[in-house]
Structure 1
Amino acid sequence: MTEPADGPGSKRRKVRKGTQSCWECKRRKVRCIFASAAETICNNCRRRGTVCISQEHADCPVPSASSEVEARLGRPATFLSQRRTITPNKHEVLANDLIATWPSQAELDIIYTLPVGLSMYLHCVICSSFSRTMGHNPLSPREMLQLPPPGSHPVLIARKLLVLGTFLQSAPPSSIEALGGFSTCYHDIMSRVVDRATRLVNTNEDLNGSVEGIECIMLEAMYHNYAGNLHRAWMAVHRAAAIVQIMGLHRGLISPCLKILEPETRAAFNPDTICLHLVVMDRYLSLMLGLPPTSLEARFATPTALEKCDPIDRMQRIHCVISGRILQRSNADVNNLAITQDIDRLLQKAAAEMPPKWWLVPTFDSDKGDGEILFHDTVRLMEQFWHYHLVIRLHLPYMLCSSSDRRYDASKSTVVTSSREILSRYVAFRTYNPAHFYCRGCDFLAFVATTVLCLVHIDSHSEDQKEYDTSPFNALAHSRLSDCGMMERTLDIMQSMARTGTDEISSRLSPLIQQLLTIEANSANGTIYSTQSSSSDDDDIGCGGKLTNGGKGLNVHIPYFGTIKFEHGSISSQPPGLMDIPAAGDWELQGVDVALFDSLFRGTSIPDVDEEATWAQWVDMSDRNRL
């Protein structure tokens, strides 16, 4: 008898008559499909990089990784076979799919020349505090952007892809442009690696049940947040929060059964810190979008926890508590000025955690050439942005109250000052870092500040303001030109980003700012406008607006506040009372911090908190310590 055509020693397996699928599809129990009759490799094997062997021939096990992966990595041909020998696990094909997205060695050599941006520091912050991260220099790009060793879990490979994506996201445009031809493809690489990690790992319930899996989702949320995709960031944060609760990390416990893939992660992991960063990001995104926050418990706001923090970490935690109070504020709370004044005092206490010079506008001196200084300046700026935005959101409901009611004068003056503070920092930051794909949340903060500053100037031009010589708005005449200059500079920055034709955020916001400035200028020249507020439409999500009355009027939507209407040709007749803000309080926050503040404001009990260690005692203690 002659040897089979497949070679000596090969043993044929029985094949059902009429079978045409390959052995690989048979093993995977999937349908074997060929793109055309002339194709010799099925679609599944082509996609996975596996060898397609028809069942007409003997089943010879062949390495499943494609030579393309080996070529992209610049590794010897034996790499994947070695990897298979070390760890023959079920995640091998998935790991190969992730590795196939990694840039080629030639592309990496170019990427290594880019400066380390803020994202690398923020990556370290995910499982640690700001104060601890600030004392350590990040790794170099070459050290940082190395794939995990052969046999690593797919989650660790996905994490490295996300680190690469955030690294490219934070690269200054000037550095990208200096690379010549690479400047046309770096964004494609950035988007590709993040998309592959998100699709194959972050949304896979079988893979994200580890601490590193949560870290991957938080990196995804960070990436989308800085790209201005706030809705996708919000959804990612809520996915991570759900996993945190399933794993019991919100209770501050580390179970022996907790899945941690790397010893380095276990050494640095703190469940309270990761929950803190999730809550901070969630409340920021919820406030910016008008969506409900998670029910993740906030264990970080107790007086005992605050006492153990460094000043910047303590300020961040107080800001998180205040944002939670604003999110759950009801109409009754807004009409109770005592509550507003109490929260305002907490904002002042938060600001006092840092020394006066810390509150100066960062200079972003490009001659310093120090990544750590850049990180300190940027973190400082972002915390300043958030502080002044919380001040605006706290006092914004009183902006459209009648000027004859002097109870709201302090709120109006405070909002004007905070709006200027935000715009001056926005101009400084965007002048230094005009990246189209980085820190886009500050563009929305600048839009809100511009809206508020235009609103107060328009109201100051109205006829009824002239009757009140002692109105705080009367002093605006002396600062109008400088205020308009900052707003015009803000518009210039957004219009320059919109000229690319691909920047959705600046393309959406710049026409609204242009119309706001036009209305303010017309109002200064005597045109009458009414400024009123109303509840938002159901389809209003996030900061934005639309032109009305044939382009003569404007509606601006601010989440958790409502819609401000600028209408042409009518006399302003805003009633003296407060408007009904959206019922944000319907989305109750289930956290220790809310109960803590309820105890301070309403005299209720605090669960799991020593009643003697009240917030007021902590405030007094912190004041004495500073003295």
Structure 2
Amino acid sequence: MSLTPANRMRLGTRSCAECRRRKVRCVFLPHRKGCESCATHGTPCRTQQPKRRPAVSLQRSEELGGAFRQLPDIAQLGRSSFPDSHSSPSYLSTASSDGAQLHAALDPSDEGIGHLESVPLINLFRDARLIQSIDGSPHKSVPTAGLDVRVQDATRLLMDSVPSQPTLRLILSETNRYWLTWPLCYYGSDTSDFLQPDRVNIAQDFISSALTSLNPSLVAKALLFLCLCIQQLAKQCRARSLLPDRVHSLVESYISIASTLLSIDSEHGGSIDALESRMFLLKICVTTGKPRKAWTTGRSALEAALLLGLHRIDQQSTDRKKKLWRLIWQSDRHLSLLLGLPCAISNTHPGVRNKLGGESIIEQILYECSFLAGAVAERDQEFGMADYAVTVELDRRLQQLQYLFPPSWFHSTTDQEISVDMHYYIQIAMLQYFLLSKHIHLPYMLKSTAEPRFLPSRISTMAASRSIIQAYHQLRDDHRTKSIICELMDFEAFSAAVTLIIGIFSESKGGLRNYAQAAGDWAIVRTCVQTLRRTEQLLECSIARQGAQLLEYLSMAWEGNGDAPERFESIIPFFGKIKINRAAVARTQEWESGRMYPMDDVSMNPPTNARDSSLCYHDSGSQLLWENTIEFSANPSCFDYGADLGGNWQDPVCFGAAYEWTQSFSHVETTDTVAGDMRDWTSTSAP
């Protein structure tokens, strides 16, 4: 065996990679795929491969670093040439070449960060004429192979949960009249290419093609739009029985997959489709009564919108971007006001302060309400230090806003010729106006019993609560909009009714008694109960069901109705606890002097009718009466906010929580008591 090392074979010969590694002769026999040596050793025969090129990201980083290293020379060249108005052709070509290279390095092709051309450093170069503006919108980069795999893995879960084509068409046909009450769903590049009630075929094609694409934002958009449609199906709708799973399970599954896809899209810079998808998700959270999740979703959408540069809209911006930006920041305002949280963007921000003009009456009203909501939320953040004059000024601005409303909108009847979405947005505009009035004065409502200077706030809060229920009833009583699902709106109407009830009871303490007004307010509460009951019958709405039940019990306790439960406790989300108790008391000489003692040891069954309670006697001969006690406690510390508004309000877990404020109202029924008579109610409070 020769000890002389074999000569290294040159790259470019027919040697395979294994023979080159082993430095042996590589012989290919006719009609065989591999060489003789590899066949003998049983190893795969692979051709030699050239060295891998550097990664694209590394190459771009090197280009970027080189461009920045050339900046001092370019700037020096610019300073030496600017005094001369006639620049040489060589300078123009050099500056143009270097500027183009810098622009290519700093301005990626991804749509998500295309607005970064407005950062101060790039503006400096633009002012120095080193960067030329490029017309046209940035294009979305082609997804990488890794991105394709992740999208495929996410969409593979949809194969068994997507409705069949006939079922999909039935779902779209059942819900198409509500599409314009949701965020617009664009399917094309033109500003008019959005789904409308007469475009069911287009909607079906859009969803079917989008769900099979590899664009994560487009898949999420189609999926969440389908989720809204499924969620909107009425209880007795035939399409519900044809779904591959229960509505709740499908919605949760779709949201989970869409959230994964949106996360993938955000890693690559985001897109307008992803922004619209997030607003669909926010709408789903609102309709299911999850304001906290809606708020966090809105914040994510707002951050993505800022990265996309939507806050820099002007008259030249597309109508699609204008409406999307307006929807994002206005939604954040109203959710922040409801939750008592600060707004993401102040009123001084140009994207909020500058009005673009050319808007409809409804758009103007919603803009002004949202703008004022920011000021109210700002006051609430420093309420302990805010002067009452701030509230007075907010109320003055609200009164000026009222002149934008056409007088016909305040009538109980509405035009039957207008479309579903127009009637819906009219009532929503009125609801937002009255909700704003309520939030402005609510902090001072109960303070008026001790300080008369706050009486205007009490009057305004009660009036706003009545108007909220009236607007809610008009929306739910109309055949065009009665089936629109929105559990957050149902909760707002319920909250207005509770505010009315607290206001009625608090009058017994402050001496501000108006019996006729109290009777009218109870009639409004009963109207709210009936509306909530009808909503619960049409739609799957736990908030409407639980809210109607609680309001009924409060009304029974007020009227002395024998059907009221002897003991009832309920936790109201974002408010506190309500406790209703009916206890037996003895009519003795102490009672005649104003003192009452509960008879916990009474060994007889309570009468079925509260009016017969005066005929029952204790063993000692004293007459038995019934004392109704309603207790309100605010600020629960252990409520599970993860469930938001749709949880079980009668879950006993939180009944023993500590509360910052408690107020009780007691009433003793006698043979002389008139149902609903406020004169026999007494009030006690505790910090």
CA pair 133-182 structure 1, distance change in 2 beyond 3 A: same
In structure 1, how many angstroms separate the alpha carbons of the residues matched to 2:428 and 2:633? 24
Contact 1:164 1:190 in 2 (8 A): no
In structure 2, how many angstroms separate the alpha carbons of the residues matched to 1:429 and 1:137? 21
CA pair 481-210 structure 1, distance change in 2 beyond 3 A: closer
Contact 2:195 2:203 in 1 (8 A): no
In structure 1, how many angstroms separate the alpha carbons of the residues matched to 2:202 and 2:529? 43
Contact 1:512 1:545 in 2 (8 A): no
> Identity over aligned residues, as a percent?
19
Contact 1:224 1:230 in 2 (8 A): yes
SS at match of 1:93: helix
Tell me which amino acid in the other structure corresponds to 1:545.
G
How far is 1:494 from its partner? 6.9
How far is 1:142 from its partner? 2.4
How far is 1:97 from its partner? 4.5
SS at match of 1:124: coil
Contact 1:112 1:141 in 2 (8 A): yes
SS at match of 2:344: coil
How far is 1:93 from its partner? 3.3
Contact 1:202 1:208 in 2 (8 A): no
| Higher CA-based Rg | 2
In structure 1, how many angstroms separate the alpha carbons of the residues matched to 2:507 and 2:664? 16
- Residue 413 (structure 1) aligned with residue 459 (structure 2): yes
In structure 1, how many angstroms separate the alpha carbons of the residues matched to 2:412 and 2:533? 20
Once structures 1 and 2 are overlaid, which stretch shifts more, 286-295 or 224-233?
286-295
How far is 1:480 from its partner? 4.3
2:447 counterpart (385, 398, 401): 401
Contact 2:346 2:374 in 1 (8 A): no
2:632 counterpart (545, 552, 555): 555
CA pair 247-143 structure 1, distance change in 2 beyond 3 A: closer
Contact 1:121 1:375 in 2 (8 A): yes
How far is 1:385 from its partner? 1.1
CA pair 135-235 structure 1, distance change in 2 beyond 3 A: closer
How far is 1:386 from its partner? 1.2
Match of 1:425 in 2: 471
Contact 2:216 2:264 in 1 (8 A): no
Tell me which amino acid in the other structure corresponds to 1:156.
L
Q: 1:513-552 alignment to 2 at 5 Å? A: 513-521=551-559, 543-548=574-579, 552=629
Match of 1:565 in 2: 662
Contact 2:631 2:663 in 1 (8 A): yes
- List alignment gaps of at least 5 residues for structure 2: 1-31, 44-141, 562-570, 583-628, 637-658, 667-680
1:122-163 Cα offsets, whole Å, 9 max, x none, are 322899xxxx99999545222113234775522112211111
Match of 1:439 in 2: 486
Q: 1:252-331 alignment to 2 at 5 Å? A: 252=313, 268-270=319-321, 273-295=323-345, 298-302=349-353, 305=355, 309-329=359-379, 330-331=382-383
Q: 1:113-262 alignment to 2 at 5 Å? A: 113-124=173-184, 137-145=196-204, 146=206, 147-148=208-209, 153-174=215-236, 176-177=237-238, 181-182=242-243, 185=246, 188-202=249-263, 205-207=266-268, 209-252=270-313
Tell me which amino acid in the other structure corresponds to 2:283.
M
1:381 counterpart (412, 427, 430): 427
Contact 1:557 1:564 in 2 (8 A): yes
Match of 1:351 in 2: 402
In structure 2, how many angstroms separate the alpha carbons of the residues matched to 1:290 and 1:15? 73
In structure 2, how many angstroms separate the alpha carbons of the residues matched to 1:134 and 1:421? 37
SS at match of 2:485: coil
Contact 2:286 2:486 in 1 (8 A): yes
- Residue 336 (structure 1) aligned with residue 377 (structure 2): no
SS at match of 1:546: strand
- Residue 92 (structure 1) aligned with residue 140 (structure 2): no
How far is 1:377 from its partner? 0.7
Contact 2:279 2:298 in 1 (8 A): yes
1:266-298 Cα offsets, whole Å, 9 max, x none, are 95443x543332221112112222334324774
Match of 2:495 in 1: 448
CA pair 430-178 structure 1, distance change in 2 beyond 3 A: farther
* Length-normalised TM-score, structure 1: 0.61
Q: 1:33-52 alignment to 2 at 5 Å? A: none
Contact 1:497 1:506 in 2 (8 A): no
1:519-541 Cα offsets, whole Å, 9 max, x none, are 54359xxxxxxxxxxxxxxxx99
SS at match of 2:341: coil
CA pair 115-573 structure 1, distance change in 2 beyond 3 A: closer
In structure 2, how many angstroms separate the alpha carbons of the residues matched to 1:121 and 1:133? 16
Once structures 1 and 2 are overlaid, which stretch shifts more, 310-319 or 327-336?
327-336
Match of 2:600 in 1: none
In structure 2, how many angstroms separate the alpha carbons of the residues matched to 1:541 and 1:479? 24
How far is 1:505 from its partner? 3.1
Contact 1:91 1:153 in 2 (8 A): no
Tell me which amino acid in the other structure corresponds to 2:369.
H
SS at match of 1:401: helix
- Residue 103 (structure 1) aligned with residue 163 (structure 2): yes
Tell me which amino acid in the other structure corresponds to 1:420.
R
What is the root-mean-square deviation in Å for CA atoms of aligned residues?
4.5
Once structures 1 and 2 are overlaid, which stretch shifts more, 181-190 or 280-289?
181-190
Tell me which amino acid in the other structure corresponds to 1:492.
R
Tell me which amino acid in the other structure corresponds to 2:526.
G
How far is 1:496 from its partner? 5.0
In structure 2, how many angstroms separate the alpha carbons of the residues matched to 1:91 and 1:135? 27
Contact 1:98 1:196 in 2 (8 A): yes
In structure 2, how many angstroms separate the alpha carbons of the residues matched to 1:178 and 1:168? 9
How far is 1:428 from its partner? 3.6
Once structures 1 and 2 are overlaid, which stretch shifts more, 88-97 or 157-166?
88-97
How far is 1:225 from its partner? 1.3
Contact 2:634 2:661 in 1 (8 A): yes
Contact 1:208 1:214 in 2 (8 A): no
